[in-house]
Amino acid sequence: MHELFLARCRIDGDPHEWGECSSWEALTTHLKGSCWPQFFDFVELLAELLIEKDDHFPFDSPAKFEVYRIRLNDLLDEENIGWQMDAHGELKRKIRAMNRSISSADAALDSRFKSAREHYKRSLSYLLTHPVDEANSVREIISALESVIKVIAPKVATLGAGVKELRKRGDFNRWSLDIIEKLYAYSNDSPFVRHGHIDGVAPTRAEAEMIVQTALSMICYLIEVGGEGAERP
């Protein structure tokens, strides 16, 4: 088990370096000194092993993974650690303030917005799944926003051009379009997000959460106001 953990964390070492008495002592000593990302790697590794074991047992055998998942999630709740393990053994971040926006966007992004929905799903995966990738989360949610605008205004090629087109219509609030324009400007100017920028500081987690939540609200607004004119496939 410890050797698998070392391989998962890409650590060049042997289990005995963390304890000579027993493999269990070495593993527990290592875990107690691990940073959070390594601890989360171990938690997911254990889930993978339990799921694999469950798959080899008869159907009427008790599911070891599900017991593990319930106890783990109870512990994470008790300690106010903002992660939960899903039914696939992956840790997901819990952002209660974003739940309503996610539910609304999930309902709004119907079959007309297939491309936007794919970008939206990837954005949430980058933001909510261990390890968190803030820059790609921002990039994908802006791409989702752009895809929605392209459906509502089919002749435009970019989000910026789409905002200009929507300004010509009388049904979109100009302040809302200003927000969308600023989201687009942020993504273009931020390192690691658009156009291959690699210099500077990547978005922080707080920035990524703010951008994603704002973009989700704008997606719902655009579909609510302009979605009726979008053609269904």
- The candidate with the shortest Cα–Cα distance to 46, out of 22, 64, 25, is 64
For residue 19, pLDDT beyond 60: no
Q: Based on the domain organization, do 140 and 153 belong to the same domain?
A: yes
Distances (CA, A) of 129 to 94, 122, 125, 132, 213: 10, 10, 5, 6, 16
2 burial class (0-12, 13-18, 19+ CB within 10 angstroms)?
buried
Tokens of residue 168, six digits: 């010509």
Q: Based on the domain organization, do 138 and 220 belong to the same domain?
A: yes
For residue 18, pLDDT beyond 80: no
Q: Based on the domain organization, do 137 and 59 belong to the same domain?
A: no
Amino acid of residue 43: V
Query: Which of 10-14, 65-69, 133-137, 186-190 has the weakest average pLDDT?
Result: 10-14
Buried b (16+ CB within 10 A) or exposed e, 169-183: eeebeeebbebbbeb
Peptide bond into 131 cis (omega under 30): yes
Q: Based on the domain organization, do 37 and 101 belong to the same domain?
A: no
> Which range, 28-32, 57-61, 97-101, 206-210, has the best average confidence (pLDDT)?
206-210
Q: How confident is the model at residue 142 (pLDDT cuts 50, 70, 90)?
A: very high
For residue 231, pLDDT beyond 80: no
> Which range, 123-137, 171-185, 215-229, has the best average confidence (pLDDT)?
171-185
Q: How confident is the model at residue 190 (pLDDT cuts 50, 70, 90)?
A: low
- DSSP 3-state of 129: strand
What pLDDT does 114 receive? 94
Q: Based on the domain organization, do 63 and 16 belong to the same domain?
A: yes
End position of a domain, from candidates 90, 110, 130: 90
Q: Based on the domain organization, do 100 and 82 belong to the same domain?
A: no
Name the one residue in this structure whose structure tokens are 């789409």.
162
Find the mean pLDDT for residues 134-149.
93
Q: Is the dihedral of CA 162, 164, 170, 175 positive or negative?
A: positive
Task: Report how far residue 162's alpha carbon sits from residue 181's, in angstroms, rounded to the nearest whole number.
Answer: 10
Residues whose CB is less than 8 angstroms from the CB of residue 54 and which lie 6 or more positions away in sequence, other chains included: 61, 63, 64, 65
Q: Based on the domain organization, do 199 and 212 belong to the same domain?
A: yes
Q: In this structure, are residues 35 and 50 in contact, taking their beta carbons and an 8 Å threshold?
A: no
User: Strand 91-93 and strand 83-85: pairing?
Assistant: antiparallel
Q: How confident is the model at residue 83 (pLDDT cuts 50, 70, 90)?
A: confident
Tokens of residue 53, six digits: 């074991």
For residue 232, pLDDT beyond 60: no
Please state the domain count of the chain.
Answer: 2
Task: Report how far residue 26's alpha carbon sits from residue 6's, in angstroms, rounded to the nearest whole number.
Answer: 12
Find the mean pLDDT for residues 21-29.
75
Q: Based on the domain organization, do 125 and 203 belong to the same domain?
A: yes
Question: Higher confidence at residue 146 or residue 83?
Answer: 146
Amino acid of residue 36: W
For residue 93, pLDDT beyond 60: yes
Tokens of residue 45, six digits: 């590794």
Give the range of the structural domain holding residue 108, as residue numbers without chain letter.
Answer: 95-229
Q: Based on the domain organization, do 84 and 100 belong to the same domain?
A: no
pTM value? 0.70
What pLDDT does 141 receive? 95
Write out the E strands in 36-192. 83-85, 91-93
For residue 230, pLDDT beyond 70: no
For residue 21, pLDDT beyond 80: no
For residue 178, pLDDT beyond 90: yes
What mean pLDDT is reported for the chain? 84
